[in-house]
Chain A
Amino acid sequence: MIWEVFRQDRKGQPFEHAGSLDAPDAEFAEAWAREQYGRRGESVALWLAPRDAVHVVGDWADEFDLKYRRVDGYSIKARLKEARERAAAAGTG
């Protein structure tokens, strides 16, 4: 049974995927994950999840230009430059 292992570096940090592990049950998975992902003190906590329990989502359709929802959807730079120039011109005029 494959277990996906997530580890936390320090308290407060996000859990990151660390790798996977083949173990017959949660008890063995815990014992072996403790060793593989924590024996040098590199983790403060682990999450172990059976691979089958992980529901994967890996694609998004964006056919109608929904980029206003993303940070690259705004060309602030050019407009900001223009606004600053206008303000400067108004101030000195």
Chain B
Amino acid sequence: MNELLLLGLADDELILGWRDSEWTGIAPMLEEDVAFSSIAQNEIGHARAVYELLADDADVLAFDRKPEEYRCAPLVELHLLDWGRTIARRCLYEVADEIRITALMEDDDARVAGLAAKINREEAYHRMHAEMWRERLADTPQFRSAVDELWRYALGVLPPKQREALAARLGREQVDAVERGTHDDAFAALHDEMTMVRRSAPAGAQW
């Protein structure tokens, strides 16, 4: 089991789910607010399932590490509270994630392969959602410039050997990727907020 890779996957899903849930109550239409919230919940559910493969207590992995110990890609950390960039990120992430998850479905470890297959079935709906939005926004300058801006971040979701597949799927040239393993200031703020209630009681307290 490639634990570092799985931890990266789980952290991506956790932090993207966290970012997506920031849209609760303020999405461009109420219908989409409800839809987006389900996607955020699914992402966090995926993170939890992967953490459970890696440790006894998913919450300890999700909340109790130091910021520098998180393995998420910079793409999912970005604070993008505008819809054009949010949807651009979703569209890019879904394609990258599909490449990654499909590869994991062939993993030698049956537990990993089985979980990847389960995640993939739920992601199929996310892809449909992303594609529906991409079709509608494709011609807007807001969406187009967001995809350009986020492309180098999207490459950083995948290990180098899978990037060619991503570039081919999206019809783009590879550029220098923003690599996993470093975090910006926005992540420190996110981590601080994410853990504030949990930190307020001694370790082991029940919530």
Contacts and interface: CB of A to CB of B under 8 A. Distances in A.
Nearest to B132: A27
Contacts of B32: 32
State which size class the interface on B falls in: under 10
A85 interface: no
A22 interface: yes
A35 B132 contact: no
Contacts, number: 23
A28 B129 CA distance: 9
B21 interface: no
Interface in A31-45: 31-32, 35-36, 39
Contacts of B35: 31-32, 35
B31 interface: yes
Contacts of A36: 31, 34
Interface size class of A (residues with CB under 8 A): 10 to 19
A81 B35 CA distance: 61
Contacts of B136: 24
B132 A32 contact: no
Interface in A41-85: none
A23 interface: yes
A2 interface: no
B59 to A, nearest CB: 24
A93 B136 CA distance: 87
21 contacts: A22-B31, A23-B31, A24-B136, A27-B132, A28-B31, A28-B132, A31-B35, A31-B128, A31-B129, A31-B132, A32-B31, A32-B32, A32-B34, A32-B35, A35-B31, A35-B34, A35-B35, A36-B31, A36-B34, A39-B34, A39-B38
